[in-house]
Structure 1
Amino acid sequence: MGTQNDPPVVPALWIRHDSDILQLWWDRLCTEMGPVPASRYAGGLFDQDRRRPIAQWYNPALNAALLVAIETGPEWPVQRFAVFYAPPGRGFTKVHMNNHEWFTRTPKKSPTEEEAFAAAVRSAEEFLQVEMDFI
């Protein structure tokens, strides 16, 4: 238990980082699966970083990350955003939430890609809020 002179506990910061997929994802995926299966996972998302948009948060104090990205192959008629979580320490998991998808054959019909992405980002932000309650 701290004393009155101890500084207040400050929660670890989650920093938005959307420019490129963090190396952390590839490293953890390779550790879990090996490089060849890892390169096939989610259509090569983690090693090719070719699909947009993404939303990503990183917590350097915890070495943890959260990612919203397209998980389906580009040839699929139904595209879907997924939320991936790399918890403090090691490993990664797909966060099972509502499906955030759209249909490529009807791109202007709701839900659109933009609507699906916005909904996935909201889900990720809700996940972060809950996660911070446990850290």
Structure 2
Amino acid sequence: MAPSGEQPVTPALWIRHDSEILPLWWDRLCSQIGPQPASRYASGLFDSDRRRPIAQWYNPALGAALLVAIETGPEWPVQRFAVFYAPPGGGFTKIHMDNHEWFTRTPQKSPTEDEAFAAAIASAEAFLQVEMDFI
């Protein structure tokens, strides 16, 4: 229980937001590597908001975000989902986790795109749990 007169500490909320990639990603990436390289990063993932599927969480209280998205070019035979993190206060990083990939030449063979996406989401959610322990 919080001491008299003090409010208990409430963890900041992570809100799922999958409809469009947040502008925060573009801003953070441009500030780190510049607009030209940013437009090519992960096959233009943050430049044109066209690569799907995505899963995204945003924490407005912290100014932080987490994203699961395809990072490989569409022409690659192996496609891979990556987890990207924009921590509170600035910056941008790719979280190195298990490879969440599938093969376009054998789309029905496990792991499928849906299985890889589900595994990447599970990794992202596990990361959020750990991250909240440090905030």
TMscore range, shorter length:
over 0.9
Corresponding position of 2:108: 108
Is structure 2 residue 13 aligned with structure 1 residue 13? yes
User: Which is further off, 60-69 or 5-14?
Assistant: 5-14
Counterparts of 1:88 and 1:25, CA distance in 2: 13
Deviation at 1:75, TM superposition (A): 0.1
Counterparts of 1:68 and 1:25, CA distance in 2: 12
Deviation at 1:4, TM superposition (A): 1.7
Show the 5 A alignment for 1:1-135. Answer: 3-135=3-135
Alignment TM-score, normalising by the size of structure 2: 0.98
Letter in 2 for 1:19: S
Deviation at 1:5, TM superposition (A): 1.9
Q: Which runs of 5+ in 2 are unaligned?
A: none
Aligned length: 134
Q: What SS class does the counterpart of residue 47 from structure 1 fall into?
A: helix
Deviation at 1:55, TM superposition (A): 0.2
Counterparts of 1:100 and 1:29, CA distance in 2: 22
| Deviations 1:80-114, CA, capped at 9 Å, x for gaps | 00000000011110000000000000000000000
Counterparts of 1:72 and 1:126, CA distance in 2: 23
Letter in 1 for 2:60: P
Deviation at 1:11, TM superposition (A): 0.5
Alignment TM-score, normalising by the size of structure 1: 0.98
| Deviations 1:26-85, CA, capped at 9 Å, x for gaps | 000110011001001100000111111000000000000000000000000000000000
Letter in 2 for 1:92: F
Runs of 4+ in 1 over 3 A off after TM superposition: none
Task: Give the fraction of aligned pairs with identical amino acids, expressed as a percent.
Answer: 82
Letter in 1 for 2:43: G
Counterparts of 1:100 and 1:4, CA distance in 2: 48
Q: What SS class does the counterpart of residue 67 from structure 1 fall into?
A: strand
